[in-house]
Homo-oligomer: A and B are copies of this chain.
Amino acid sequence: MASLSDISRHAGVSIATCSRVLNGSAHPVSEATRSRVLKAAEELGYAPSALARALVTRSSRIIGVIVGDIVDPYFAEIARGVEAVAAELGYLTMVCSAELGSEAELGHLRQLRDYHAAGIVFAGSGRAGDPVAAELAVAVADARTRGAVVVALAQRDFEAPTILFDNEAAAHDITTYVRGLGHERITFVEGPAGLHTSAQRLAGFTRAGGTDAIAGGFAYEDGVRAAEALLARDTLPDAVVAANDEAAIGLLVRLRDAGVDVPGQVAVTGIDDTRPAHFVGLTTVTVPLHEMGRRAAQAVLEQHAEDVVLPHALRVRSTT
Contacts and interface: CB of A to CB of B under 8 A. Distances in A.
Classify the interface of chain A: helix, strand, loop or mixed: helix
B142 A1 contact: yes
Contacts of A220: 275, 278-279
A49 interface: yes
A68 to B, nearest CB: 12
A51 B145 CA distance: 16
A87 B110 contact: no
A130 interface: no
Interface of A: 1, 45, 47-52, 54-55, 60-62, 64, 70-71, 73, 76-77, 79-80, 83-84, 87, 90, 92-97, 99-100, 104, 107-108, 110-116, 138, 142, 145-146, 220, 249-250, 253, 275-276, 278-281
Given A50-B116, A71-B80, 6 more contacts: A50-B114, A70-B70, A76-B76, A80-B99, A92-B94, A250-B279
Please list the 9 inter-chain residue pairs (A to B) with the smallest Cβ-Cβ separation, ordered nearest first: A94-B94, A50-B114, A71-B76, A92-B111, A51-B55, A50-B115, A1-B145, A95-B95, A83-B97
20 contacts: A1-B146, A47-B114, A51-B51, A64-B94, A70-B70, A71-B76, A71-B77, A71-B80, A73-B73, A83-B97, A84-B99, A87-B107, A93-B96, A93-B97, A94-B94, A94-B95, A94-B96, A220-B275, A220-B278, A275-B276
